Amino acid sequence: MMKRAIFLTALLVALFPGPGVQAQAQAQPVLVELFSSQGCSSCPPADRLLQDLAGREDVVALALHVDYWDYIGWKDSFARPEFTARQRAYAREAGSEMVYTPQMIIDGTDAVMGSRPAQVARLIASHRSAPPTADLKVTRQGGRLSISARARSGMRGRCTVRLVRYRPRASVAIESGENAGRTLDYANVATEISDLGQWDMSRPLELEAPMAGDLPSVVIVQMGRFGPVQAVARID
């Protein structure tokens, strides 16, 4: 067991280096969405992996909790039907009707079991190495957001601009269901998601939107409705 623990620790360090490798990272972070559930016994390893990813500057990591496991004995306090709808929309985009937890979606395109760090790392590295398709700038002043974007390399298409609010840290004592008796820790738990507008990439985007509350947020620019992520930016 000790050798296995040392191996796993070394694997995580190699696959998910900390802030010391910033010089190798492109300016555009990679969006990682974890679809998880408090009632899923297979999810805690993926939840822990997302905590590691949440500490990286070159990754925007979000946990979106789904509600389709609520019937098995524990109602997820973070789950929202719109998060379940988002996961199902990704499945339809991929030509499938199947959804599962824990699932990670990388930059809106690649799906992977969220508890497989080596596969997740390879996908993140692949997306990091791809040239950026858009430049995104987001500023907040008081209760207003100002969002501007420019397409790169002749990119064309119609995109959706979204805002995701999230809680950086949370702990939950699970009282029943598959994880009964456990207190689980979570990172970057999404609390709401909303569409801010559409962007035709053939011309620059200039968009303003209201911004209430003090939770950190992320702006996502995504091709079509649930296609490839073109740009993502944090709002602290």
Q: Which is more confident, 22 or 37? A: 37
> Which residues are CB-contacts of 205 (< 8 A; sequence separation ≥ 6)?
147, 148, 149, 150, 161, 199
pTM of the model: 0.88
Distance CA 94, CA 163 (A): 23
Inform me whether the pLDDT recorded for 3 exceeds 90.
Answer: no
The secondary structure of the chain in percent helix, strand, coil, rounded to multiples of 5, reads 25, 40, 35
Query: What average pLDDT score do residues 197-217 get?
Result: 95
Report the pLDDT value the prediction gives residue 153, as an integer from 0 to 100: 81
Q: If you search the block for the tokens 């296995």, which residue do you land on?
A: 4
Report the pLDDT value the prediction gives residue 12, as an integer from 0 to 100: 46
Inform me whether the pLDDT recorded for 68 exceeds 80.
Answer: yes
How is residue 8 annotated by DSSP?
H
CA distances from 230 to 36, 56, 155, 160, 196 (A): 24, 19, 10, 10, 15
**Residues 27-58: pLDDT tens digits?**
689 999 999 999 999 999 999 999 999 999 99
